[in-house]
């Protein structure tokens, strides 16, 4: 075989080259099989493909795919490790740092999240998303004042950042600044289609202002949009209970228990038995009236 290759001008392929070619082929097969598996939700198989591919070749794109897969598998420590490896390899990549910060947020590791955001802001101090994530980090540590300041900075840099406005409204309401929360809610209502999170915030602000009829009407819109929205039933039931509407409160609590039976183990689901009023009273007694 080698004679004929030489005779017709070819060169016999060396064993090392054959090995490299085989490895390259296997790497591509594993990488793209992993991508296909990830797209159809077969995350266990995708993780195996990407891990085996990385044994053949260290590739940042595969590390990225692996991090996404690990997140979907709930293996957040490993996902964060992959993202930090990518950040070390690309020290100017703000996007990777923000992805890592988001994973730290999912872990409720606010110190790690803040550190990653600081690195991102050192590279791009005008990155609105970095300020927003920093706000989430400091709010996670109950630093409300700095949280609002970061959210305001994020909104100044990108006025269309609705998530920042929603979080600022929630934080301002928690701080007792009802008018400030109302301003953000008004903007969100004017610039977004009906969205259950925005409507929930609007209902909470209305309730804080003493406009309970308006609040109940908004909660009704939320349950129409999403019949499985537990917070809407819970918070509407609290208002009804406080207003003396025992039947309405019981109906909302029954819905909460139907949707999430384990949420309130001390409340009987049998609303036809004695003690219904006391059961509902226990359910609502410790609940924050603003859903916060």
| pLDDT at residue number 279 | 58
- What's the pLDDT tens digit per position in 247-269? 999 899 889 888 887 765 545 44
Q: Are 175 and 202 in contact (CB under 8 A)?
A: no
- Measured distance CA(101)–CA(99) in Å, rounded: 5
- What's the pLDDT tens digit per position in 57-110? 999 999 999 999 999 999 999 999 999 999 999 999 999 999 999 999 999 999
Q: Does pLDDT of 276 surpass 50?
A: no
- What's the pLDDT tens digit per position in 198-212? 999 999 999 999 999
| pLDDT at residue number 62 | 95
pLDDT > 70: percent of the chain: 85
φ, ψ for residue 142 (rounded to 5)?
A: 65, 25
On the CB side of 266, how many CA atoms lie within 13 Å of its CA? 9
DSSP string, 60-124: HHHHHHHHHHHHHTT-HHHHHHHHHHHHHH-TT-HHHHHHHHHHHHHTT-HHHHHHHHHHHHHH-
| pLDDT at residue number 290 | 59
Q: Does pLDDT of 10 surpass 80?
A: no
| pLDDT at residue number 265 | 52
Could you tell me the pLDDT band of residue 3, with boundaries at 50, 70 and 90? very low
Lowest mean pLDDT among 140-149, 232-241, 258-267: 258-267
- What's the pLDDT tens digit per position in 179-197? 999 999 999 999 988 899 9
Q: Are 44 and 73 in contact (CB under 8 A)?
A: yes
Q: What is the pTM of this model?
A: 0.83
| pLDDT at residue number 263 | 60
């Amino acid at each position: 075989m080698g004679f004929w290759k030489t005779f017709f001008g070819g060169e016999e392929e060396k064993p090392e080259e054959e090995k490299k070619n085989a490895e390259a082929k296997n790497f591509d097969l594993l990488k793209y099989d992993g991508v296909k598996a990830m797209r159809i939700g077969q995350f266990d198989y995708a993780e195996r493909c990407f891990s085996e591919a990385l044994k053949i070749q260290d590739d940042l794109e595969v590390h990225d795919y692996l991090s996404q897969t690990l997140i979907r598998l709930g293996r957040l420590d490993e996902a964060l490790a992959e993202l930090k490896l990518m950040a070390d390899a690309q020290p100017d990549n703000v996007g990777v740092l923000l992805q890592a910060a988001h994973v730290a947020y999912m872990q409720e590791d606010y110190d790690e999240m803040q550190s990653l955001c600081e690195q991102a802001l050192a590279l791009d101090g005008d990155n609105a998303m970095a300020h927003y994530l920093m706000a989430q980090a400091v709010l996670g540590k109950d630093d409300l004042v700095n949280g609002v300041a970061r959210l305001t900075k994020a909104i100044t840099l990108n006025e269309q950042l609705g998530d920042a406005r929603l979080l600022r409204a929630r934080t301002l309401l928690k701080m007792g600044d009802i008018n400030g929360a109302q301003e953000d809610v008004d903007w969100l209502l004017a610039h977004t289609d009906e969205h259950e999170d925005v409507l929930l915030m609007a209902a909470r602000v209305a309730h804080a202002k003493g406009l309970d009829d308006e609040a109940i009407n908004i909660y009704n819109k939320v349950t129409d949009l999403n019949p499985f929205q537990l917070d809407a039933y819970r918070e509407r039931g609290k208002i009804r209970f406080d207003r003396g509407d025992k039947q309405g409160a019981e109906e909302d609590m029954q819905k909460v228990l139907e949707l999430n039976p384990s949420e309130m183990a001390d409340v009987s689901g049998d609303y036809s038995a004695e003690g219904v009023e006391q059961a509902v009273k226990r359910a609502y007694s410790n609940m924050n009236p603003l859903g916060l």
